[in-house]
Amino acid sequence: MLKPSFFVNKLPIYGDLILAPMAGFSDLPYRSICRALGSAMSYTEFVNVDELSSGKNGSKRARQKLCYRENERPIVFQIYGHDVDRIVNVAERIQELGPDIIDINMGCYVKKIAERGAGAGMLRKPKSVALLIRRLVNILEIPVTAKIRLGWDEDNKNYMEIARILEDNGASLVAVHGRTKSQAYKGKADWDAIAHIKQHLSVPVVGNGDVCTVADINRIKSYTKCDAVMIGRAVIGNPWILQRKDKQDVTLTDRLNLVRKHLKLNLEFYGLDKGLILFRKHVAKYIEDAPENVKHLRIPLLTCEQASDFEELLFSINKETHTLP
């Protein structure tokens, strides 16, 4: 019998690689692909609790972000907000939708979110973090987790304080992006900080930041001793990294087959027009290192307005490269 890699409270997790929650990317179609390729958990895109406060389960777009398939489990709903009462009320309500875990986003660096006190803005209010996690743990029947950054800026790195608060108040896992809010994605991720948190917490710690290759996966695990590795930007266009495959090790045929599958899932989930439009950002990554003899098809693929035309362009790539469709 397969042995769990770790547990989130009593929930067994099989595998040590996780697709990071990313706005506009970790939607149901792409999560389904990544889960099939090895992502051990499925985090939704982060959802503003304000969007979930209207009606039974909020706006149409917010509800769509929380859609999932049973084969994605364990499924993690990631939410964010700045008001403790509202976060707790929304979390209690969306628990009825059947997630396995509810995660609080304390890492988003976007100005309009963080400066309102949500996302990474919560790191500046340790007492509110303690109150929020304690109330969520007391009211929910499923594990509560959090994803954090190292602090607001270089002069205000309070990651150890926040990590201890999370554990002391009942959080079952802490995911850590090794940068501050002010860094966004600039500079180098601080794996020493992730290692520091892992050394002092008894709950699982997930490391995140500067993991771009299979070698990076092995390095961050060895260096930090983290229980799992969360991968964000490097998965876009290369979900095979979740199988511990670098992109250059994936054949063009396999790439094109996955492009077709991904497009099909997008069209089914979003509809013909929106599904194709939203797929363009993915195909840009899938083909960014395409062979020289098909690079002229890049612009047509990115501006294609009909699914049938898209399929013809993919067939052209097959023909130009002599690969099987």
Query: Greatest CA separation found in the chain?
Result: 61
Q: Are 63 and 94 in contact (CB under 8 A)?
A: no
- Encode pLDDT of 97-130 as tens digits: 999 999 999 999 999 999 999 999 999 999 999 9
pLDDT given at position 324: 46
Q: Could you give the C-alpha distances from 271 to 130, 190, 240, 263, 306, in angstroms and in order?
A: 42, 41, 26, 11, 12
Per-residue pLDDT for 294 more than 70?
Answer: no
Q: Which of 108, 212, 226, 304 is catalytic?
A: 108
Task: Indicate the pairing of strand 144-148 with strand 101-106.
Answer: parallel
Provide the CATH number for the domain formed by 6-244 in this structure.
3.20.20.70
Domains 6-244 and 251-321 alike in fold? no
Q: How confident is the model at residue 60, as a pLDDT?
A: 84
Query: What was the pLDDT predicted at 47?
Result: 96
- For the entire predicted model, the pTM comes to 0.93
Fold of 251-321: 1.10.1200
Q: Quote the pLDDT of residue 325.
A: 46
Q: Which residues contact 10 (CB under 8 A, 6 or more apart)?
A: none
Q: Chain-wide mean pLDDT for the chain?
A: 92
Active site residue 108: yes
- The pLDDT score that the predictor gives to residue 134 is 98
pLDDT at 299: 81
The whole-angstrom distance between residue 74's C-alpha and the CA centroid of its chain comes to: 13
Domain residue extents for the chain:
6-244, 251-321
- Using one digit for the tens of pLDDT, what is the confidence trace for 32-64? 999 999 999 999 999 999 998 765 555 788 889
Token duo for residue 219: 């390095």
Residue 13's closest CA among 228, 235, 241? 228
